Structure 1
Amino acid sequence: MQRLKSETRPHHERTEAQVRLMDPDLTPTAYRRHLEALHGFYGPLETRLAGLGLDAVAGLSVHARWKVPLLVEDLRALGHDDASLAHLPRCGGLPSLAGVPEALGCLYVLEGSTLGGQLILRHLRRHFDGTPLGPFAFFRAYGDDVGPRWRAFGEAVNQASVVAADAAFDSRAVKGAQDTFDAFAAWLRREQAHASVSA
């Protein structure tokens, strides 16, 4: 986990720069568009992750970590239905995840986003106080269990590395995380550019 943190820092910072949810002039429309972009990234990415054998990683409980149902809950509260959700853009430039190490690196990005989402949640609640925008389900995610779930994830990743006993395992996990950050940043840039053109 320490290597993941240190070797993905610049990738993380570039991706974070694309997230505008802490902007003081954030509008309900911009919030909705950001959730739509997240849905377009998490949807196909979680589908790919589901086929990479993560169920075999002890202590991970990967299916309890999926975020698409939370995004759907939020988007429905903002006016979407089955038909409109099905027509939202989906990311085609996903990271290339060859196996479990890369998938764990990818999950490091997604779970870290959940951890960082707590700060965003507090801002959104203050910023939109009195505006009916739904439950903020995605950013609320694990509720009071965010810290424990992050620690459990870290323990599962570290243990998987030990069990693998393969020098390439950690490098592959780092590459998976770097590629996920980069794909995420590129997708957010694309969606923001599209939103600017259509505004």
Structure 2
Amino acid sequence: MSLPQRLKTETRPHHERAESAVRLMEPGLTLDGYRRHLEALYGFHLPVEARLSEVLEEELPALHLHERRKLPWLEVDLRALGHDAASLARLPRCPEPPSLGSLPEALGGCYVLEGATLGGQLILRHLRRHFEGAHAGDFVFFRAYGDDVGSKWRGFAEVLTRAAEDTSEPDFGDRVVKGAQDTFDAFERWLRRALG
């Protein structure tokens, strides 16, 4: 089984629990609820993307992590809903982000964030219909890579597979899976706390 397949299989229960904390598909979603959800996503991505940058930009330049950062997209969406630089700086941050301090764990965390861009396509369609005619912004975060979402995902899977093949660490794959599981779990805990 390839590492991407292992990740899909072995993180499934963690993924499902995290997904159950996302409330963006609820029929009663208000603009305020949407804004609060984006604020929670911002509070999670800020520390997680910082940790990923520390590890992956230097150790795995082929990933082009700077092109995969989601924070700028969240900032655009939040500004469309009334935030400015000062209010963004005051938003709560996830106090217990996953520990992604080495390459395999960081790749596991990146797997979660990159995979979310695929699910974001479904959420995007719902939000466009749900908020049609409302001043909800352009849903930049959920548009992610636009038409390139599939190729970006395949590119990530290729880099992940190559990193696993090139390593001499016997537990590399196990640690990638653990990093992904921890990221899903931290995301779920934070979202439930942030959204109440």
TM range (shorter): over 0.9
Relative to the length of structure 1, the TM-score reads 0.94
Name the counterpart of 1:36: 39
Name the counterpart of 1:196: none
Report the alpha carbon displacement of residue 66 of structure 1 after superposing the two structures with TM: 0.4
CA contact (8 A) 2:98 2:179 kept: yes
What value does the CA root-mean-square deviation take over the aligned residues? 1.0
- The amino acid across from 2:97 in the alignment is L
Name the counterpart of 1:19: 22
Name the counterpart of 1:171: 174
The answer as to 2:159 corresponding to 1:153 is: no
1:18-97 pair list within 5 angstroms: 18-57=21-60, 59-97=62-100
Work out the percentage of aligned pairs sharing the same amino acid: 62
- The amino acid across from 2:44 in the alignment is F
- The amino acid across from 2:175 in the alignment is R
Relative to the length of structure 2, the TM-score reads 0.96
Name the counterpart of 2:112: 109
1:137 to 140, 158, 174: 140
CA contact (8 A) 1:95 1:179 kept: yes
CA contact (8 A) 2:77 2:138 kept: yes
CA contact (8 A) 1:58 1:160 kept: no
Rounded to whole Å, the distance in 2 between the matches of 1:170 and 1:105 is: 9
Report the alpha carbon displacement of residue 58 of structure 1 after superposing the two structures with TM: 5.5
CA contact (8 A) 2:51 2:101 kept: no
Aligned length: 193
Rounded to whole Å, the distance in 2 between the matches of 1:144 and 1:131 is: 24
Give ranges in structure 2 of 5+ residues lacking alignment.
Answer: none
Rounded to whole Å, the distance in 2 between the matches of 1:78 and 1:124 is: 14
